[in-house]
């Protein structure tokens, strides 16, 4: 059997980390790089990780755009760009998607798949959630701090042969692959945490999780926001298990305090994933006629913060 040909589109920290693992597993992994093209082409990507070992990830092909990818369409196209406003993800990958290409989305947020499913109705679509702390520390340099699991399944549901094969590759590369036949429900579950802690961490003044839960009324407010997300998830057909909110709050309170990705993005002047993490949940609430006043409040305030941040960029 020939090697699986994989093209990573968006070779930031996440794409590099999983790309390195897939290459370690023996796959033929190429990378679309934009900002770090020269460094990656010359030196590859140095991935420091206790979990998968320190590796030099040298893409088979390092290209500037998917249209430069040679040798026919890949078996898997892994899209690991941040989902930001104004980015047409379908257009970004179209040139490299062939009839047999499985599209793998490793992205945050909820309800991010339909746009890609509509654009590529005949391709297998795999939706994946990364539970990983990994950062780009320089051009072609990525450091893995903690965790690393990838949870995924087919969109809208199920678990096909291609998804299972991807799981095997990841496991061979040192990654724990958690497959799910209800990945959309899993996305909603992650959203319960993300859509609460992320915007609150920004609006509260760039706070870590400890300061959020420790503030007067902080834990009660987090709980209220999480209840609203659970209600939206249930109305969208993805009821969450009882006790989830307690579990999230307890485990966050017990874990060392840390800053959310949105707080870090804000602090560092980067665009935030407000729309996929929070905006999509708000739109789902409106669509399903679920009252979500705390989410609406967070969303309105985040749009103000974003607008001011955009003006300052």
Provide the binding-site residues for a copy of itself, judged by CB under 8 A.
200, 203-207, 211-212, 215-218, 220-221, 224, 293-294, 296-301, 303-305, 307-309
Q: Check: CB of residue 66 under 8 Å from CB of residue 32.
A: yes
Q: Locate tokens 């320089």: which residue?
A: 138
CB 207, min distance to a copy of itself, A = 6
Whose CA is closest to 19, among 74, 96, 73? 74
Backbone φ, ψ for residue 65 (5° rounding): -140, 155
Q: Please tell me the distance from the alpha carbon of residue 208 to that of residue 198, in angstroms, as a whole number.
A: 10
CA–CA distances in Å: residue 180 to residues 125, 129, 141, 164: 13, 11, 31, 10
CB 169, min distance to a copy of itself, A = 42
Q: Locate tokens 């998804």: which residue?
A: 163
Q: Please tell me the distance from the alpha carbon of residue 252 to that of residue 249, in angstroms, as a whole number.
A: 5
153, β-bridge pairs:
127
CB 266, min distance to a copy of itself, A = 10
CB 213, min distance to a copy of itself, A = 10
CB 195, min distance to a copy of itself, A = 13
Q: Which is nearer to a copy of itself, 62 or 294 (CB)?
A: 294
Q: Which is nearer to a copy of itself, 201 or 261 (CB)?
A: 201
Two tokens, residue 130: 């990364």
Q: Which is nearer to a copy of itself, 48 or 208 (CB)?
A: 208
Q: Please tell me the distance from the alpha carbon of residue 224 to that of residue 295, in angstroms, as a whole number.
A: 9
Q: Which is nearer to a copy of itself, 94 or 286 (CB)?
A: 286
CA–CA distances in Å: residue 80 to residues 26, 69, 110: 20, 17, 15
**Residue 80 per-residue DSSP state:** -
Two tokens, residue 154: 């087919």
Q: Which is nearer to a copy of itself, 137 or 297 (CB)?
A: 297
Q: Which is nearer to a copy of itself, 178 or 224 (CB)?
A: 224
CB 98, min distance to a copy of itself, A = 38
β-strands 45-48, 55-57 pairing: antiparallel
Q: Please tell me the distance from the alpha carbon of residue 280 to that of residue 272, in angstroms, as a whole number.
A: 14
CB 274, min distance to a copy of itself, A = 11
Q: Which is nearer to a copy of itself, 87 or 300 (CB)?
A: 300
């Amino acid at each position: 059997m020939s090697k699986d040909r994989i093209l990573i589109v968006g070779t930031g920290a996440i794409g590099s980390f999983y790309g390195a693992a897939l290459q370690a597993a023996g796959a033929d992994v190429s990378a679309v790089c934009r900002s770090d093209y020269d460094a990656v082409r010359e030196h590859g990507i140095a991935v420091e990780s206790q979990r998968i070992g320190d590796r030099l990830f040298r893409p088979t092909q390092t290209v500037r755009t998917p249209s430069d990818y040679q040798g026919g369409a890949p078996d898997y196209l892994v899209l690991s760009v941040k989902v930001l406003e104004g980015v047409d993800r379908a257009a970004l990958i179209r040139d490299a998607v062939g009839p047999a290409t499985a599209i793998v989305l490793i992205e945050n947020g909820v309800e991010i798949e339909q746009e890609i499913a509509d654009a590529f109705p005949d391709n297998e679509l795999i939706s994946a959630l990364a539970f990983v702390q990994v950062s780009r520390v320089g051009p072609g340099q990525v450091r893995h701090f903690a965790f690393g699991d990838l949870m995924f399944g087919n969109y809208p549901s199920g678990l096909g042969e291609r998804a299972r094969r991807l799981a095997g590759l990841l496991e061979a590369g040192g990654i724990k692959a958690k497959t799910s036949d209800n990945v959309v429900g899993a996305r909603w579950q992650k959203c319960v945490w993300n859509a609460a802690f992320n915007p609150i961490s920004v609006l509260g003044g760039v706070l870590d999780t400890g300061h959020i839960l420790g503030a007067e009324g902080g834990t009660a407010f987090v709980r209220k926001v999480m209840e609203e997300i659970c209600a939206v998830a249930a109305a969208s057909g993805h009821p969450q298990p009882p006790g989830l909110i307690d579990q999230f709050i307890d485990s966050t309170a017990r874990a060392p305090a840390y800053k959310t990705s949105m707080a870090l993005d804000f602090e560092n002047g980067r665009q935030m994933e407000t729309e996929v993490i929070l905006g999509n949940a708000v739109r789902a609430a409106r669509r399903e006629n679920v009252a979500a006043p705390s989410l609406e409040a967070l969303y309105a305030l985040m749009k103000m913060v974003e607008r001011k941040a955009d003006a300052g960029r």
